[in-house]
Structures are given as C-alpha cells and as structure tokens.
Amino acid sequence: MSARKVPLPDSEREDVKTAAQRDGCEPMLAVLTEDRFSDPDWLYERKLDGERLLALRDQDRVRLMTRNRKEVSATYPELAEAIACQPARDFVVDGEVVAFDGAVTSFSRLQQRMQIRDAEKARASGVRVYLYLFDLLRVSGRNIEAMPLRERKRLLRETIGFDDPLRYTPHRNENGEACYRTACEKGWEGIIAKRADAPYHHGRSRDWLKFKCSSGQEFVIGGFTRPQGEREGFGALLLGYYEDGALRYAGKVGTGFDDAFLQDFRKRLDRRRRDSSPFELTPDEADALWVRPDLVAEIGFTEWTQGGKLRHPRFLGLRRDKAAEEVVRETPS
C-alpha cells in the first residue's frame, strides 16, 4: 500500500505542546474487565503480547520510545528505518512491537531482542519483529488526540505505508463477544475493546477495556531463592506488587527459565543485593536473598488464591517498559 500525505488546512493546525515535544508522552492504557460485551459504538482489536512503543518522526529524526520513555531504536533498527522511510515527515504513532512463535505472539521470544542495545547485534539475532500500529496522535504539525478514534484510525491508514515490518492492527465492529471467543480459540492473549468516538487519553482510561483469555500481569522482583540440586543461578524469584505505597508479596515463580537466563540473571540479581526484605511483610522463605525492587517481570498464572498468592505462575520475561513503582494488582472493574 502506498502512503499519502494528509492535507490539513492551516486553520486546523493547533498551537499546542505536541506528543513529539514531550519526548515520549504517556500512552493510553486499558482497564481490565470481566464484562464481555457487544456494542456498535465500540471497536475490538487483538491484544498483542509485546512491547508498547510510540514512534515519533520529526523531519529526519526518528525515535522509538517505550511507555516509560526509554529510547529503543537500536534494539529495533528495522522498525526505525521503516518509520524513517515514510513519505510523511512529521507524525507520532502508537503501537506494539511483537515477535511470533508460529501464529501466536510470544513475549518470551521478543525477550531475545529486548535485551540487545546494539543495532548490528539486533539485526543478527535471528528474531524477526513487527510493529503493529493502532493509533495516530499527531500528523503534519497537528495534534489530533481530541479526534474520535475512528477518525484517527482512518488518518493512520492514509498516513503510513503498511509493508513489513509495519503492520496495521485490524479491528472488528460491534460483535465483541464473538471476537473474544475467536481470540481465545486461537490462543491469543485477549481483546482490547475501544470506544469508537473517544479521544486519546494519556494514562489509563475506561474508554479502552481489556478482555483477557488468560491471567497474567507484571510483578516486581523483590528477592530470590538459592538453587537446589544441579540447578544453577537461582531457584525462584520472589514477586510483589504495590498497594498503598507498600510492596505486597504475591508468591514465587520457579518455572519459565532456561539455563542461560538462570546464570546470567543471577549476576544482575547479585548486583542488586540488600540485607533487608523490600516487602511490607517478609515472606516465609528460609533461603531467601533480597534485592533492590527495581526490576519488573511478566508473569502468567492461572488465578489468585484466597490468600492473595499466584497459582501456577510461570515466568514469561522481563519488562523494561514499566517502572516498578507503577506495578499494582490488576483487578477487573
């Protein structure tokens, strides 16, 4: 598909502080819900299991920014180049970078790219990545965040040429329940429901809702246990989330690691060692070692126990796009 510049009358240009000037403004975030619904006033998109990015182009300058304002163009050089090749020279787009394991997006596979900081090493990693775009915040000198979502998505398709590794995020209209069932049958993470006439809000908003097929969220790493038997590195990671400013213990995860990660991550943990527990209530773990709680892990699990711990947790990867102090327990609303 060839891209076209969007004609914008001078009378519509806004003299505002733009997303590009804010150096990676806070993206719009969805609220978790257990209410699956169908509504003609809503759009339904696939929930992708990757890393959220804002791509900013200002003439010859291109930046890829994570949700916590980290510049990651060297990690995804092919994505930065694809943005730089667009005919439009001034825009901000919102999307998610993913890697695939078969037909399903895999955060674990994406980890192999997320840890790389050198562009040439990233290209040689063998992990192909794609940037799925689903929103447009700015184009041709104009901030369009106040526009309805449907209009922003129309302008997105007119502004960007969608050839790999850039992909448009398709959506379905109205039938959210069927879309959700299809997502779960295909092994997707879930669906994002978006109010079609809503503006773009910075931060979490009920105009975007998450329909999850399985449980999972981010947790802060507050400690680890020593390895047992022939295992190297560490035994399990001790996890928590913040509530009223205190780090609450949520349990430990001991699966989902390969041997290389166990050994390499132990070195990172040792550099963060501290004498006291960072948790408000110290976990009853006799062989626990404590660390500075500044690393965030993505964890899948089946459910919360009545005692507030994770049942059958599994490690999916580390997150660099969310600050530890922002991690809270996700509860449907």
Active-site position among 47, 194, 212, 252:
47
- Look up residue 305 and give its amino acid: T
Q: Would residue 47 show up in a list of annotated catalytic residues for this protein?
A: yes
Q: Residue 72, class by beta-carbon neighbours within 10 Å (0-12 exposed, 13-18 middle, 19+ buried)? A: buried
Residues pairing with 42 in the sheet: 195
Which residue is associated with the tokens 């992708």? Answer: 48
Cα-atom radius of gyration of the chain, to the nearest Å? 21
User: Is residue 320 within 8 Å of residue 242, measured between CB atoms?
Assistant: no
Please give the Cα distance from 134 to 152 (Å, whole number).
Answer: 9
Q: Quick one: how far is CA 8 from the chain centroid? A: 32
* Contacts (Cβ under 8 Å, ≥6 apart) of 297: 218, 219, 220, 221, 237, 239, 253, 315, 316, 317, 318, 319
Phi-psi map region of 316: left, alpha, beta (phi>0 left; psi -120 to 50 alpha): alpha
User: Is residue 247 within 8 Å of residue 279, measured between CB atoms?
Assistant: yes
Nearest to 48 by CA among 112, 115, 94: 94
Q: Residue 100, class by beta-carbon neighbours within 10 Å (0-12 exposed, 13-18 middle, 19+ buried)? A: middle
E strand segments, 49-149: 51-58, 61-66, 90-98, 100-101, 104-105, 130-139, 142-143
Please give the Cα distance from 155 to 122 (Å, whole number).
Answer: 31
Nearest to 92 by CA among 145, 55, 131, 140: 55
Nearest to 330 by CA among 238, 195, 215, 245: 215
- Residues annotated as catalytic are 47
